[in-house]
Amino acid sequence: MLQGFDQLRIEGLLCDVTLVAGDGDEAFPVHRAMMASSSDYFKAMFTGGMKEQDLMCIKLHGVNRIGLKKIIDFIYTAKLSLNMENLQDTLEAASFLQILPVLDFCKVFLISGYFWNMLTLHFCLHCLFSSCAHLLLFLLSPFRLPALPPSSSPLFFITQVLLTFLHYRSFTSNSSSLLSRGITHDTFQKELMCFDPDSDKWTQKAAMTTVRGLHCMCTVADRLYVIGGNHFRGTSDYDDVLTCEYYSPSLDVWTPIAAMLRGQSDVGVAVFESKIFVVGGYSWNNRCMVEIVQRYDPEKDEWHKVFDLPESLGGIRACTLTVYPPEDLSAGSPTRESPLSAP
């Protein structure tokens, strides 16, 4: 059956959607049913009522051309060719698109003797800070790192520990002191730290009421708002955090506010006319980037949808811009107002 679908794909027959990688214009015609049956990401995209469900061409901004081609070839052939040149692209694409068998293949390759013979400092550091925690746990498991407390994560090992590990292929009698330097707290935190430039000191303040990560923050008047984000559920799964709260510096107290209409992480946030605008981002519940723009009114404690962006965007930033009229503009010059809309 796979061979038959792959032949249809090669000949461009019965393909009902075209995927385009975020770093180029190369098109990959595929079958929605094949992609949805192999990936929760595509299943949510094509069956979850999102706008991509009806699009004929979809650009995947979080995946490059090499990674996307590897994933599509694997889905249609159940074969995967890995080397040092395509490993990182394949790993990132598989993680983003939730192709679990490819992640497993990458794990096997990462712990193979071939990988460690070809390992470079730059590549290992890149894996440390960009790969998923469960991949790193699997990668480092042959080297006695599981001796760390279960709450620790290789993502948070200080760089010096990794450098020492690379310089010495096997642990010596000092290995226990190296392991003791692992950070033994959870990945997502509630702590708030305040920096005073005058005294050059950090001070711990009251903790948030909700654990979260990849959230956004902004200030309105004398309040510090924390909005959205995600939370680690375990077994490499994450959930959207819809709850929001603000911090009062004068009282050192956090106060919950109205929840968001839709989960958004790694978003753009900006304040305009004392209202908070949250733009785009990633929904962990739906495993996709989102196009929604939400607005929060602190006076009414209400969230409203403003509009949808022309396309789903994640990892973006937003700002406000004040435009002043030219000095030679007379008081009687005509002006025009229009409703806020997507560009």
Write down the domain spans for the chain.
Answer: 2-144+161-169, 192-308
What is the structure's pLDDT at 263? 87
In terms of Cα–Cα distance, which of 255, 231, 253 is closest to 242?
231
What is the structure's pLDDT at 337? 56
Domain 2-144+161-169 maps to which CATH number in 3.30.70.2190, 3.40.50.970, 3.30.710.10, 3.40.50.720?
3.30.710.10
What is the structure's pLDDT at 174? 41
CB 67 within 8 A of CB 87: no
What is the structure's pLDDT at 312? 83
Amino acid at 172: T
pLDDT in tens, the chain (343 residues): 778 888 999 888 999 999 999 888 889 999 999 999 988 889 888 887 778 888 999 999 878 999 999 999 999 999 988 887 888 889 888 888 888 888 888 877 776 655 555 555 455 555 555 444 445 555 555 544 444 444 444 444 444 444 444 544 444 434 333 333 333 445 577 889 998 888 889 999 999 988 888 888 999 998 999 999 888 766 556 788 899 999 999 899 999 999 999 888 888 899 998 999 999 888 887 778 888 999 999 999 999 999 888 888 877 888 887 777 676 665 666 666 555 544 4
Element (H, E) at 226: strand 223-227
CB 250 within 8 A of CB 194: no
What is the structure's pLDDT at 57? 93
Q: Nearest-5° angle of CA 143, CA 146, CA 151?
A: 145
CB 285 within 8 A of CB 240: yes
In terms of Cα–Cα distance, which of 316, 196, 220, 209 is closest to 256?
209
Q: At 121, phi and psi to the nearest 5? A: -60, -45
Please report how many Cα atoms fall inside a 13 Å half-sphere around the Cα of residue 88, on the Cβ side: 12
What is the C-alpha separation between 91 and 78, in angstroms, rounded? 16
What is the C-alpha separation between 9 and 31, in angstroms, rounded? 8
Q: Hey, CA dihedral for 93, 99, 105, 110, is it positive or negative? A: positive
What are the tokens at 290?
């989102």
Hey, what CATH class is 192-308 in? mainly beta
CB 42 within 8 A of CB 112: no
CB 264 within 8 A of CB 292: yes
What is the structure's pLDDT at 140? 52
